[in-house]
Amino acid sequence: MSVRSVRATLATLAMSAAAVFGLAQPASAAGDNYVALGDSYSSGVGAGSYTSESGTCKRSTKAYPSLWATANSPSSFRFVACSGATTASVASGQLSALSSSTTLVSVTAGGNDVGFADVMQTCVLQSEATCVSRVNTAVSQMQNSLPGKLDSLYAGIRSRSPQARVVVLGYPRFYKLSGNCIAGLTETERGAINNASDVLNGVLAKRAANAGFTFSSVVDEFTGHEICSGDAWLHSVDWLNISNSYHPKAIGQSGGYLPAFRSAV
């Protein structure tokens, strides 16, 4: 057998194996109609490179939805996530991007419903006791009022796109405890905020599972890259651009959210 025929045979076998074992392309690739919903953690606040058309929604070309779409070239891509979005505003202002032909959906929502931005502001500007009290109020909202709001949003997504794979992404754990920060919040405050993030992720995971959606945590991806870690993928308080505070940097989108989303689809 000639070298050329050997190569041809090997190529044929490789193509056959790819067809049999599904190796030709990932499950989510060129054939997908992808819609990215959600709040600032999906729009990419903190990552920079915002598109001019997105205005105050601050949709970034460095956010995980754009990065995934660039890498996978889906048949269609609608990026409608918006800074400040709540479950209600996602439902009222973003679900129109969905249709019966939508095959892939990503969403982050819930943090603004429990006032996480206000929690952070309270903890930065006020006393430890006031901070912890505000965190506890947010945790109570997560446990009591948020589940129903998530159920309503998820039902709306499923109603509009009954065949879509839906990936609900969580939020990072913000602080490395006993880290290298020498100023700012106390360890008690940082621990309370981390606990609240864990509670929120737990609620998101449970409601996503109940809806038949996939929950993808980003906690592992951000471990070692929290605020106070020395290699933070999250902005700490940014007094020059306050909206960046507690949001992923560009590396947090590409190294944290993108792998978490990719592994779920």
pLDDT at 29 (0 to 100): 59
Kindly report, residue by residue over 186-238, the tens digit of the pLDDT: 999 999 999 999 999 999 999 999 999 999 999 999 999 999 999 999 999 98
Kindly report, residue by residue over 21-50, the tens digit of the pLDDT: 334 444 545 689 999 999 999 999 999 999
Kindly report, residue by residue over 45-56, the tens digit of the pLDDT: 999 999 999 999
Q: 168 near 215, Cβ under 8 Å?
A: yes
Q: Which is catalytic among the residues 16, 28, 40, 54?
A: 40
- The tokens 């991007």 sit on which residue? 97
Please state, in angstroms and as integers, the Cα–Cα distance from residue 245 to each residue in 48, 84, 252, following that order. Answer: 13, 13, 13
Q: Is 40 an active-site residue?
A: yes
CA separation for the pair 201, 142 (Å, rounded): 10
Question: Above pLDDT 90, what percent of the chain?
Answer: 86
Q: Which is catalytic among the residues 161, 197, 216, 247?
A: 247
Q: Is 254 an active-site residue?
A: no
Query: Is the per-residue pLDDT at 19 higher than 90?
Result: no
